[in-house]
Amino acid sequence: MTNDIPEKQLSRRDFLSFTAKLGAASLVATAVSPVVGLVNVAQAAPASKVTPFNFAIISDAHLYDIPNHKFDAILAKAVDDVNNMQPAPDFVVFLGDLGQTGARAELEKGKRILSKLKMPLRIIPGEHDWYLDMGAAWRNMFGSPHWSFDHKGVHFAAMNSILVKDFWTVKDIHPEQRMGYMEELECTICGLWGVREEQLDWLEKDVKKLGANAPVVVFTHSPLWDYYPRWNFQTEDAPQIRSILSKFDKVMSFHGHVHQVLYNRIGNLTSLGALSTSWPWPYPPVQLPFPEDRMNRVDPANFLDGLGTHVVDLNAEFGGDLKYKPWADLLPPAIKNGIKL
Ligand SMILES: [Fe+2]
Ligand SMILES: [Fe+2]
């Protein structure tokens, strides 16, 4: 990937800094700046120079195979916003639920809109992309649902977190019904989601070479903590994932699926939920670890209410600031003034 952002000197504390913007209902994460010494993150090379960079996140488009559907326009606007970001992101990550019912035509439409991005795209699936044909069309279009790469000293890894145990064969449920069950926010027969054994093994091998001080960013569709399992706002084997990642000083996790501003920290893992380009989900009736992070929704009947822009600045320790800019300028002070991560 290319980067024409000029190098600049930053302090050691600032060696890794992220600015994340969720443009027009999309999360646009702008990652800045690993130190040259961290290019080989397992080495203890002296760190002196920083090359800032940006990356963007867009999530949960939920496109229908209906011409000129309103969600098409919002995704296209998010793509435009990302293309117009200054400085430009080096790459974009889409965090799942590109389609609504998993139909090939929905995914093809999404791919067409996302192809307007001027920078490389990385993508993972959501449950809406997968359960009509068990990911056949998605894999055919986008390849492996888990992947990793290093970029300017930061290690990025992504997994497919929406895998459930087979609930359909014994009940003789056909593919459309299976997809229908998985589309439900509260499916009573689907069971919990997870990344499962094969991807856990993959992750363990993937991060084996990295030293404890390596900056690691993880992408999944569902959150890597038990937010609200009843709506599958969780990943069943997140404890195993957190255990594999526990050797690192700090890990940053971005996820989709919840369609809302969401922040949590467990041990060394900081998690941020991405807004969607479709609709905002309500907050479940649970006490959040950080209740002041809830978005203010004045008109839940308005599908645009609750969409907006995230701006996240993270420093080397994955602390920083999160600011949320909704389309409706009606914010509780805690959000309006920013949140310390
Ligand atoms: Fe979604
Ligand atoms: Fe989802």
The reported pLDDT for the residue numbered 200 is 98
Of 277 and 182, the structure prediction assigns the larger pLDDT to: 182
Q: Could you tell me the distance, in angstroms and rounded to a whole number, from the CA of residue 170 to the centre of ligand 2?
A: 25
Work out the average pLDDT over 239-267. Answer: 92
Instruction: Please list all protein residues whose beta carbon sits less than 5 angstroms from ligand 1, which is an ion.
Output: 60, 97
The pair of three-digit structure tokens given for residue 278, joined into one six-digit string? 């479709």
Alpha carbons 231 and 241: distance in angstroms, whole number: 20
pLDDT tens profile 286-302? 888 776 667 666 565 66
The reported pLDDT for the residue numbered 292 is 60
What's the order of all strands across the beta sheet hosting 269-273? Answer: 147-151, 154-158, 216-220, 251-255, 269-273, 262-266
Name the least confident of 16-20, 117-121, 134-138. Answer: 16-20
The reported pLDDT for the residue numbered 340 is 58
Q: Which ligand number lies closest to the CA of residue 71?
A: 1
pLDDT tens profile 11-60? 222 223 333 333 323 334 443 322 222 222 223 233 333 356 778 888 99
pLDDT tens profile 64-93? 999 999 889 888 888 888 888 777 888 899
Of 232 and 53, the structure prediction assigns the larger pLDDT to: 232
Q: Could you tell me the distance, in angstroms and rounded to a whole number, from the CA of residue 301 to the centre of ligand 2?
A: 20
pLDDT tens profile 151-172? 888 899 999 999 999 999 999 9
Among the listed residues 159, 99, 108, 94, the one whose alpha carbon sits nearest the alpha carbon of residue 129: 99
Q: How confident is the model at residue 261 (pLDDT cuts 50, 70, 90)?
A: confident
Mean pLDDT across the chain: 78
Alpha-carbon torsion 118, 107, 255, 162, what sign?
negative
Q: Could you tell me the distance, in angstroms and rounded to a whole number, from the CA of residue 45 to the centre of ligand 2?
A: 41
Alpha carbons 251 and 54: distance in angstroms, whole number: 18
Q: Could you tell me the distance, in angstroms and rounded to a whole number, from the CA of residue 328 to the centre of ligand 1?
A: 21
Of 244 and 8, the structure prediction assigns the larger pLDDT to: 244
Q: Which ligand number lies closest to the CA of residue 59?
A: 1
pTM for this model (two decimals): 0.83
For residues 163 and 194, is the Cβ–Cβ distance under 8 A? yes
The reported pLDDT for the residue numbered 246 is 97
pLDDT tens profile 187-216? 999 999 999 999 999 999 999 999 998 889
Of 248 and 320, the structure prediction assigns the larger pLDDT to: 248
Q: Could you tell me the distance, in angstroms and rounded to a whole number, from the CA of residue 195 to the centre of ligand 2?
A: 14
First to last CA, the chain: 29
* Residue 142, phi then psi, degrees to nearest 5: -120, -10
* Residue 152, phi then psi, degrees to nearest 5: 50, 40
The reported pLDDT for the residue numbered 225 is 95
Q: Cis peptide leading into 87, omega within 30 of 0?
A: yes
User: pLDDT exceeding 70 applies to what percent of the chain?
Assistant: 70
Q: Could you tell me the distance, in angstroms and rounded to a whole number, from the CA of residue 40 to the centre of ligand 1?
A: 36
The reported pLDDT for the residue numbered 86 is 78
